[in-house]
Amino acid sequence: MSQSNRLRIEGELTIFRAMELKPIMLATPPVDEIDLSGVTELDTAGVQLLMLAKKTALADQRDVKLTGHSPAVIEVFELLNVAAYFGDHLVMDSRTASGAARS
């Protein structure tokens, strides 16, 4: 498999877009990279959809990689403590450098 099937998500990854994005994430050929750099908002429905994509990939004995985690994604992943589930490397101290630590 030399060709990468990459999905770049722009805007919200929320309950309002989950039904739109689900068939794209689970399409054939399968997505093997999801670029989250354009995500402006993420809720639990979005996190569940990412988890489903990961679980489906593992069941098919392949991997799906999350890349370009936006500040919105990092904030929710930290809040829910789910970064380890995806096994992707996040630069957690990037939020300190960018001043994204909000109260």
Domain parsing of the chain, residue ranges: 6-96
Task: Please tell me the pTM assigned to this model.
Answer: 0.82
CATH for 6-96?
Answer: 3.30.750.24
At 34-77, the pLDDT tens digits run 999 999 999 999 999 999 999 999 999 998 999 999 999 999 99
Q: Find the angle CA(5)-CA(33)-CA(35) to the nearest 5 degrees.
A: 115
Q: Work out the pLDDT band at 2, boundaries 50, 70, 90.
A: very low
Closest listed residue to residue 56, CA positions, set 25, 18, 34, 85 = 25
